[in-house]
Amino acid sequence: MNTFANKVAIVTGAGQGIGKAIAQAFSHHEVHVIIAEKDEEAGLETQKWITDKGGKATYISCDVAQESSIQHMIQEVANQQERIDFLINNAGLSRFKPMEELSVEEFDTILSTNLRSVFVCSKYASTYLKQSGSGVIVNIASTRALMSEPDSEAYAASKGGIVAITHALANSLAPYVRVNAISPGWIEVRDWKKASEREEVTHRQVDKEQHLVGRVGTPEDIGRAAVFLCSGESTFISGQNLVIDGGMTVKMIYEH
């Protein structure tokens, strides 16, 4: 994958979890990573991790629930780097509550953060992505777009919307920009939080056996896929939703 030297990738929510792993994965390929993150402590930790290893990273404060914050972030990147090659729409939040207890305001906050931000970030970055000549957007959805547990209406709606807006954007930005989604399954992120909140993690055997591959997913699994979807090895892939879940959603589990 030698198509990355001197290119610029924006990763929203890159301070922790999947976003952090995506940022690190890009940094291994000489990409200048923009850490667009609301949590300054987490964002600066990711920046330091990358730069300490000789990579290139810049933290820019960004609240993706706010259009003006996204607009400012995109403009800062354009001014500093004079290009945007990859946009990874990863930032998101979850709140699982019975629908009778979930306020409309909470529902709207989740939709604004998880789904509307994909549109807004893509809208303001699209000009630069087109100019890149090899622009790519990767949206982080979820297998919860395809299956659910109780009390997950807002999160499921936001992730289902991300899958849908992905193929819409792929059509609107073609042929200049490719757009794909990744739907992670069970990805363990507690040990990928910022240092002040990081936890030791163990999984039960039954947790591992829910997956065809015999383990729970890691953020690095998603980071590697994001890099692939932005590489020259995936130029015939656009408008797709790549499910990465260790086979969990295709395994039938019966209770005895």
How many other CB atoms are found less than 10 A from the CB of residue 27? 24
Torsion sign across C-alpha atoms 242, 112, 120, 223: negative
For residue 44 the two structure tokens come to: 């600066």
Instruction: Could you list the beta-strand ranges (E) of the chain.
Output: 8-12, 32-37, 56-61, 86-89, 135-140, 177-184, 241-244
Candidates 59, 124, 128, 155; catalytic one: 155
| Whether residue 175 has a cis bond before it, omega within 30° of 0 | yes
Torsion sign across C-alpha atoms 67, 72, 78, 80: negative
Residue with tokens 């992730």: 159
155 an active-site residue?
Answer: yes
Are the beta carbons of 183 and 142 closer than 8 angstroms?
A: yes
CA distance 186 to 199: 17
Are the beta carbons of 48 and 115 closer than 8 angstroms?
A: no
CA distance 168 to 42: 32
CA distance 42 to 14: 8
For residue 2 the two structure tokens come to: 């030698």
Among 29, 33, 30, 32, residue whose Cα is nearest residue 14: 33
Residues designated as active site = 155
